[in-house]
Structure 1
């Protein structure tokens, strides 16, 4: 079980780190112009950067505390935080009628829930 948790933690960390850094580095207008981030039209620059920062911190929280043994309880807490991120993301996508994004939200939510449950109970 520990190996499965580490694999999922690593995958989630890579996804959230990439997504978060992209939101932090790319201008919101450029993201909207790409056509893949229509949800960002209704958000301020600060909101998009804030989401990116939360994703980067969540990615780091999934791996570093458990890896170093320093405050390992932060790993499942980070996973719960990413579950909340996906619930809110799904809500935004539903509100905007972007149903194509929902399967990704559900998969990421379930993987983060797996890590939260596995690390809280293990």
Structure 2
């Protein structure tokens, strides 16, 4: 199970990194023009950048604390944060009737919940 948790954390970290880079560095207009980018209509450019930075921090928090063996409890804490972020994303896309994105966010949520459960529980880094 440890291997499955590591793979899950790396996959989710890649998702968070790619999303974070795009939200942090791409102009709002470019994001809005992409498939599924309509959510940016109700969010100012600074808000989008904040989301991007949070996603970049999540990418780091999902793997680096465990790799460096420095405060590894941050891995499941970050995964739990990602669950909350995905709930928000699902609500946003659901309001826009973008159910394909709701399903994708649900998959990310499930992956994050698995990481949080596994790293807080049976495969915690403290044991």
- The alignment's TM-score, normalised by the length of structure 2, stands at 0.92
5+ residue gaps, structure 2, are: none
**Alpha-carbon deviation of 1:95?**
1.4
Q: Distance in 1 between matches of 2:70 and 2:47?
A: 30
**Alpha-carbon deviation of 1:33?**
2.0
Q: Find runs of 4+ consecutive structure 1 residues off by over 4 angstroms.
A: none
Structure with the larger helix share: 1
Q: Distance in 2 between matches of 1:114 and 1:100?
A: 21
Q: Which runs of structure 2 are paired with 1:1-122 in the superposition (5 Å)?
A: 1-121=1-121, 122=123
RMSD: 0.9
**Alpha-carbon deviation of 1:57?**
0.5
5+ residue gaps, structure 1, are: none
**Alpha-carbon deviation of 1:99?**
1.4
Q: Distance in 2 between matches of 1:8 and 1:15?
A: 11
Q: Distance in 1 between matches of 2:106 and 2:44?
A: 25
